[in-house]
Amino acid sequence: MSQIKHYTTVLLLAAGSLLPATAQQKATIKVNPSADAPTINKHIYGHFSEHLGRCIYDGFYVGEGSAIPNTKGVRNDIIAALKELGIPNLRWPGGCFADTYHWKDGIGPKEKRPTIVNQWWGGVTEDNSFGTHDFLDLCEVLDTEPYLAANVGSGTVQEFTEWIQYVNHGGKSPMSDLRKQNNRDTPWGVKFWGVGNEAWGCGGNMTAEHYANLYRQYSTFMTDWSNTGSLFRIASGANVADYHWTEVLMREIPKNLLDGVALHSYSFVTWEKKGSSTKFDEQQYFTTMQTALKMEELVTKHTEIMDKYDPKGKVALVVDEWGGWYDVEEGTNPGFLYQQNTMRDAMIAGTTLNIFNNHSSRVRMANLAQTVNVLQAVILTKGDKMLLTPTYHVMKMYKVHQDAKLIPIELATPDYKVGSETLPAVSASASVKDGKTHISLVNIHAKDKETVEIDLNALKLKDFTAQILSSGKLQDYNSFENPNAITPKAFKDFKVKNGVLTVTLPPFSVVVLEAK
């Protein structure tokens, strides 16, 4: 048996053997506060910024000469929005791009930097005007931890370790001297490092065994230059349900060289036919939610493997790419992965974050893909215009869980049924911090409201306030013509009686309740 306690939400489906044969008419939640429950690591709420489409250029970065208000070339409205969101970490420069990126091309005078052709995303030529200093200075402005994904696929150990020295060495060394020549005296102190990306695919099409040996080599030469052991080394982990990959990494890599193992999983209709981001029917929505809720199984099974080799839970599961993936918007570059963001994406965000919260004993970092103008973005831009997506609003509502103590729950939920297939209609997680208790609820049902009864006797809570994110249609989204069509609103459709909180959730809605 593992020495780690897992506080996963228990889903007791109406079709399962733990409930009567008659369909359950309402969802019930029992809270089980525990002194041994884990803290929900704030880094679960991380983000991802790749050199892909208009994420960096014409997204974050417009250049210092732009008429759009900016700080060192980065849009001020994006900076303000991400500060408000309280993002704990930001991953860069990829993604697939990371294993073709050579960091020295992105330092020094911008006019002297060589160009690069982005072979993965659209074949565009980039001028390297956004590089290491630009990204790390941005992270300082945002007060967020940088997460650098380093080049293993086409790089070298020397290149990798010199990058660490460049950004982290405080004394005299060749790379710190080079940094000072480029007008940065003090090191940034970067903690999070990805040792390559998707080594099973665009990072080199490697076998797990080959990558495990490469990882051992690279991580051996990584040093934080302060003798504090502050580097957090993250191995390129599995693609979805490739449990063999996780098994090999956990078995073959010494734990003194390993702090995190990544996992990538996206939500879509089918991989071959992802469908429109806005023009989808209920069956396509249901299928997308099947892949999103598969995260529960993925996290559980990868955790079981990690428990076998790491029973004390030293190594974190890092889900550093997740989110919805659909066909690009009509008329846009297919290599830019630009898509709209609807209430379907709000459902993906709310349910996925609940899964991460409930598995926070092992899941201690994650990164939504991606921040601006790519995939399930929290921000979209068009010229000088900017809008916040439904996903942004869900993550802002959920930020109350960052570094809060998990409250384990037992959840019994009705089914959401389409055809002969079913999904749990309700998703939930709960936490407490600074004397405030928060319960986040999601109803994914496309048509029916769901009643949720929460037994609060173990918490003795009475006075609640709440916010809701909802809309008239699943396909609704915020446009540049109507950027505030979907925003959080005050929610009052709940009552407390005899220690039971009864909440009525509209179809496809997200609700976060707070009690002091």
Cβ neighbors of 400 (< 8 A, separation 6 or more) are: 431, 433, 436, 438, 512, 514
Catalytic residue among 50, 145, 162, 321: 321
Rg of the chain over Cα atoms, rounded to whole angstroms, equals 23
Amino acid (one-letter) located at 299: V
Catalytic residue among 50, 162, 198, 450: 198
CB 239 within 8 A of CB 198: yes
Asked about 84 being catalytic, the answer comes back as no
**Spatial CA neighbour of 278 closest among 481, 483, 474, 53:** 474
Amino acid (one-letter) located at 324: G
Q: Distance between alpha carbon 33 and the CA centroid of its chain, in Å?
A: 26
Q: Is the dihedral of CA 485, 490, 493, 494 positive or negative?
A: positive
Asked about 481 being catalytic, the answer comes back as no
Cβ neighbors of 102 (< 8 A, separation 6 or more) are: 151, 155, 159
CB 96 within 8 A of CB 154: no
Amino acid (one-letter) located at 376: Q
Q: Distance between alpha carbon 126 and the CA centroid of its chain, in Å?
A: 26
Residues paired with 369 in a beta bridge: 48
Q: How far is the C-alpha of 516 from the C-alpha of 514, rounded, in Å?
A: 7
**Spatial CA neighbour of 389 closest among 375, 404, 399:** 375
Q: How far is the C-alpha of 457 from the C-alpha of 442, rounded, in Å?
A: 22
Beta strand 379-382 pairing with 145-150: unpaired
CB 112 within 8 A of CB 160: no
Q: Distance between alpha carbon 420 and the CA centroid of its chain, in Å?
A: 31
Bond preceding residue 237 cis, omega within 30 of 0: no
Q: How far is the C-alpha of 516 from the C-alpha of 506, rounded, in Å?
A: 25
Q: How far is the C-alpha of 424 from the C-alpha of 78, rounded, in Å?
A: 35
Backbone angles phi, psi at 195, to 5 degrees: -90, 80
Q: What is the largest CA-CA distance in the chain?
A: 73
For residue 286, the 8-state DSSP code is: H
| Helix, strand, coil % over all residues of the chain, rounded to 5 | 25, 30, 45
Which residues participate in catalysis according to the annotation?
A: 198, 321
